[in-house]
Structure 1
């Protein structure tokens, strides 16, 4: 630009950046609130980390699904990510709570983990399948206004699917690691 002339980005681009910033803050705030609620529920500062570890597992599926469907990261997909935080931690909460209850009843750690895997598998899979099937018409772009909300549905479907599958394996492993470190510190 010639001397004395300046340019600023505004309008739609400025609104988009502000929306992205707001979505990022919403995501961080939702993670913090979920952590605080879980810490109070489990009366532990370590077990909430096991549960919150499902969020990065979900982002693997989100990234792959958005790339495979040709969708971009936009405000709707980021909104889907915020919604996804609340949904994916549910599976891990179910498993960790079940393990904790069995251990409180006197069951050994590995048996409690095995029982959680066996007895909670069906409810976890049913929740995931019903959510995915419910969002499928929106993800396929069917219906009025679906094109606008399609990235949201694709984000939730991809993230929930990967988080569910990976959570079934990763949460028990993390639980063993955390339980082992708790035993060593006592």
Structure 2
């Protein structure tokens, strides 16, 4: 089965979480031979997050190496890079204060934040 979701009325992440934790396990207990697979937005979001995490690690290492080559030191780039978590905390708090959901676009911005 496939479904189209009205984003103004419901949140896809909440629906998938509710299905995964409550409805689908009960359905499998009642009908042991049944199988399911979550596709679409949930699958693409998971793949994007995995890719972003790998990208963050690689980009951070490259930034560290570039800073280390410029400063001829390993300590100074570490000191400079300690500012990155403060930007992350600020972005998350900003979303919380403004009452906004953290979306994939927000996460892309957070990943790009320390690079500029």
TM-score normalised per structure 1? 0.44
**Partner deviation per Cα, 1:93-145 (whole Å, 9 max, x = no partner):** xxxxxxxxxxxxxxxxxxxxxxxxxxxxxxxxxxxxxxxxxxxxxxxxxxxxx
Residue number in structure 2 paired with 1:77: 106
- 5 Å-filtered alignment, 1:131-170, equals none
1:36 aligns with 2:65: yes
1:5 aligns with 2:34: yes
Structure with more relative contact order (C-alpha pairs < 8 Å, separation 6 or more):
1
Aligned length: 87
Equivalent residue in structure 2 for 1:21, among 50, 56, 67:
50
CA distance in 1, matches of 2:60, 2:54: 10
CA distance in 1, matches of 2:99, 2:51: 24
1:64 aligns with 2:106: no
Task: Structure 2: give runs of 5+ residues left out of the alignment.
Answer: 1-27
TM-score normalised per structure 2? 0.69
CA distance in 2, matches of 1:81, 1:30: 13
User: After TM superposition, where is structure 1 displaced by more than 3 Å over at least 4 residues in a row?
Assistant: none
Residue number in structure 2 paired with 1:109: none
Compare the two structures and name the one with the higher helix fraction: 1
